[in-house]
């Protein structure tokens, strides 16, 4: 329904490039600043939330800057530092941002924000609620991105519902309560995550712990 660049293909190409150059970072020789024709003096490795645990350890690319543009900080409009893992990350490729903030104002990449969120027992559901309204859904932070797979290390997807981001009207999927009921039939607890943010819509997905669903199956 929603037109997006093929993020999976983009990530697959990046992974292939990483394997070719694993163990060696590109040098500065012959590199120009991203913002002018001056010789690059600074190389900053950056990451994104795509790929498995191993590929996310490897920079997805390098930002080349002259000293002047590095000091200006203009490039920081498109990148951010995660206060948990300490790495520089791409802000976004599409309308969806790959940055989250905690209650203390710390800036986090999606994988780090995800780990924090699922570690809090208060975010898990153990009984089927009578209803889950938009007020409850609005409190759920965006910690999973479209085409990301890092969540598969901890969770199994059960189902999702999409909503118009302007009106709040549900536009696809089963009612959230029905999805939660199905999830609790498979595992003792489940969790709802805002798992996609498009230009005009958002998705809330329901997940169960990976190992608990496998045991139940």
For residue 80, what is the enclosing H or E element? strand 79-81
Residues in the chain where the model's pLDDT stays below 50: 1-5, 15, 18-23, 213-217
| DSSP structural state of residue 60 | S
Q: Which of 143, 155, 75 is nearest to 109 (CA)?
A: 143
Mean pLDDT of the residues in the chain? 84
- pLDDT value of position 148: 92
- pLDDT value of position 214: 47
Which tens digits make up the pLDDT trace of 61-119?
A: 899 999 999 998 878 889 999 999 999 999 998 888 999 998 888 999 999 999 999 99
| DSSP structural state of residue 150 | G
Compute the CA torsion angle 67, 83, 106, 15 (nearest 10 deg): 90
| DSSP structural state of residue 141 | -
Contact, 37 vs 20, CB < 8 A?
Answer: no
- pLDDT value of position 1: 34
């Amino acid at each position: 329904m929603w037109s997006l660049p093929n993020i999976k293909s983009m990530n697959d190409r990046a992974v292939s490039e990483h394997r070719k150059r694993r163990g060696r970072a590109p040098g500065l020789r012959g590199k120009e600043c991203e913002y002018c024709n001056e010789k690059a003096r600074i190389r900053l490795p950056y990451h994104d939330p795509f790929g498995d645990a191993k590929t996310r350890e490897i920079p997805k690319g390098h930002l080349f800057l002259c000293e002047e543009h590095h000091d200006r900080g203009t490039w920081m409009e498109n990148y951010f530092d995660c206060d948990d893992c300490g790495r520089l990350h791409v802000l976004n490729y599409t309308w969806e941002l790959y940055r989250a903030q905690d209650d203390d104002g710390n800036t986090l990449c999606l994988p780090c924000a995800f780990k924090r969120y699922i570690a809090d027992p208060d975010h898990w559901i153990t009984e089927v609620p009578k209803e889950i309204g938009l007020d409850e859904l609005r409190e759920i932070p965006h910690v999973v991105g479209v085409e990301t797979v890092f969540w598969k290390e901890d969770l199994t997807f059960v189902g999702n519902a999409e909503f118009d981001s302007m009106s709040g009207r549900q536009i696809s999927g089963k009612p959230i309560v029905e999805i939660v009921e199905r999830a609790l039939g498979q595992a003792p607890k489940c969790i709802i995550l805002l798992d996609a943010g498009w230009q005009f819509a958002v998705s809330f997905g329901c997940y169960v712990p990976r190992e608990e669903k496998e045991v139940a199956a």
